[in-house]
């Protein structure tokens, strides 16, 4: 069961400067971490980009935010996009903070700093010094590559390389249709004020599906919702009765692969719900279980 969050490359289109854009992306990364998302995917919306803070900027800052603090200098160095990275809020992801304890079985990211002879490498994984580890059979690593290190003891250090996905939040770039078409996409939800109103009853039917299959939730950009980004009429995704409520259980289907369009802030008191606000408002109820 996986959770994927989709945000557009035009996410920072209304930001007045790089500092504000960076802060906004920090809130997005925080929301993804708080609600245990496995993937944060940036999908292209080139028509909505302002030019100053394009998809590359959004992707870079989000990837930096998702990088464990002890690896950031080595992994990123100095980059223009990261001028205001210091204002990003700490994520303190469970997969990272867990390895700071003396408990066994915690995993953390590391960077290979040296490839030595006889199948051994040196890895910086945030301990006092880089550690020398055996490379598992059939696993190939290169200098500068990120790897997963499983730590069973800190004093003395006992750790091993794991041939598996990196712990923590993965930040990717891909097309919206490709993200919705993944085998592990689960329930595909479009968050939009034109969708079906989220009610207690609707949430009750969703909770079991999400818990079993996972979910992919897509969001729009400031002043540019998903219908605008997809170039489809808002009326095509609204419930049949036009009230924002489901009509006899029939869900809208005029979309590139969503299972339903959902209005998670049905009685919003502001004319505009910012994307980072919509993430918190949507993921909180959708994370509830039966």
Q: Which residue, 127, 131, 129, 138, is CA-closest to 116?
A: 131
The pair of three-digit structure tokens given for residue 37, joined into one six-digit string: 């998302």
Q: Rounded to whole angstroms, how far apart are CA atoms 284 and 220?
A: 18
DSSP string, 24-38: HHHHHHHHHHHTT-S
> Do 105 and 145 contact (CB within 8 A), yes or no?
no
* pLDDT value of position 245: 52
Cα–Cα distance, 64 to 75 (Å, whole number): 9
What is the average pLDDT score of the chain? 88
Residue-level pLDDT at 126: 86
Averaged pLDDT for residues 155-180: 91
pLDDT at 109 over 50: yes
- Identify the CA nearest to 47 among candidates 13, 16, 6: 13
d(CA 277, CA 284): 11
Most confident range (mean pLDDT) of 1-15, 92-106, 118-132, 230-244 is 1-15
- CA gap 112, 261 in Å, rounded: 43
Asked whether the predicted pLDDT for residue 54 surpasses 70, the reply is: yes
Structure letter (DSSP) for residue 233 = -
User: What is the Cα–Cα distance from 286 to 204, expressed in whole angstroms?
Assistant: 10
Identify the pLDDT of residue 236: 81
**Angle at which helices 275-286 and 200-213 pack, to 10 degrees?**
80
Q: Quick one: tokens of 96? A: 């990272």
Whether the per-residue pLDDT at 35 is higher than 60: the answer is yes
pLDDT band at 197 (very low <50, low <70, confident <90, very high): very high
The closest alpha carbon to 206, from 105, 276, 288, belongs to 288
Q: Which of 140, 37, 162, 21 is nearest to 87 (CA)?
A: 21
Residue 150 makes CB contacts below 8 A (sequence gap 6+) with 105, 106, 107, 159, 160, 161, 162
Q: Quick one: average pLDDT of 109-137? A: 91
Q: What is the pLDDT of residue 279?
A: 97
Give the mean model confidence (pLDDT) for residues 44-68.
93
> What is the DSSP-derived secondary structure letter of residue 224?
B
Q: Is the pTM of this model over 0.95?
A: no
What three-state secondary structure class fits 209?
helix
pLDDT digits (tens, 9 = 90+) for 60-101: 999 999 999 999 998 998 899 999 999 999 998 875 544 344
Q: Are strands 131-134 and 146-154 parallel, antiparallel or unpaired?
A: unpaired
Q: CA dist 71 to 68, 94, 126, 256, Å?
A: 6, 16, 7, 38
Q: What is the pLDDT of residue 233?
A: 87
Rg (CA), the chain: 21
* Contact between 258 and 216 (Cβ < 8 Å): no
């Amino acid at each position: 069961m996986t959770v994927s969050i989709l945000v557009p490359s035009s996410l920072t289109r209304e930001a007045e400067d790089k500092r504000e854009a960076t802060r906004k992306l920090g809130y997005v990364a925080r929301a993804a971490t708080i609600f245990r998302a496995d993937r944060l995917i940036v999908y292209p919306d080139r028509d909505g980009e302002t030019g100053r803070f394009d998809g590359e900027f959004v992707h870079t800052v989000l990837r930096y935010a998702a990088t464990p603090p002890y690896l950031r200098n080595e992994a990123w160095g100095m980059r223009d996009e990261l001028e205001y990275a210091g204002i990003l809020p700490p994520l303190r992801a469970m997969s990272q903070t867990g390895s700071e304890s003396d408990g066994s079985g915690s995993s953390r990211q590391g960077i290979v700093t040296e490839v030595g002879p006889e199948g051994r490498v040196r890895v910086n994984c945030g301990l006092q010094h880089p550690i020398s580890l055996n490379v598992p059979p059939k696993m190939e690593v290169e200098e500068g590559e990120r790897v997963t290190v499983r730590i069973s003891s800190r004093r003395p250090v006992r750790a091993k390389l794991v041939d598996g996905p990196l712990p923590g939040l993965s930040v990717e770039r891909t097309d919206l249709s490709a993200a919705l078409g993944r085998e592990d996409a689960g329930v595909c939800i479009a968050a939009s004020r034109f969708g079906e109103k989220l009610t207690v009853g609707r949430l009750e039917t969703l909770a079991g599906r999400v818990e079993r299959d996972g979910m992919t939730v897509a969001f729009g950009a400031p002043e540019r919702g998903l219908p605008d980004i997809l170039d489809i009429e808002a009326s095509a995704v609204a419930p049949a009765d036009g009230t924002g409520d489901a009509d006899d259980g029939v869900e809208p289907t005029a979309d590139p692969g969503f299972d339903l369009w959902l209005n998670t802030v049905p009685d919003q008191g502001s004319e505009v719900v910012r994307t980072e606000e919509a993430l918190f408002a949507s993921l909180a109820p959708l994370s509830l279980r039966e």
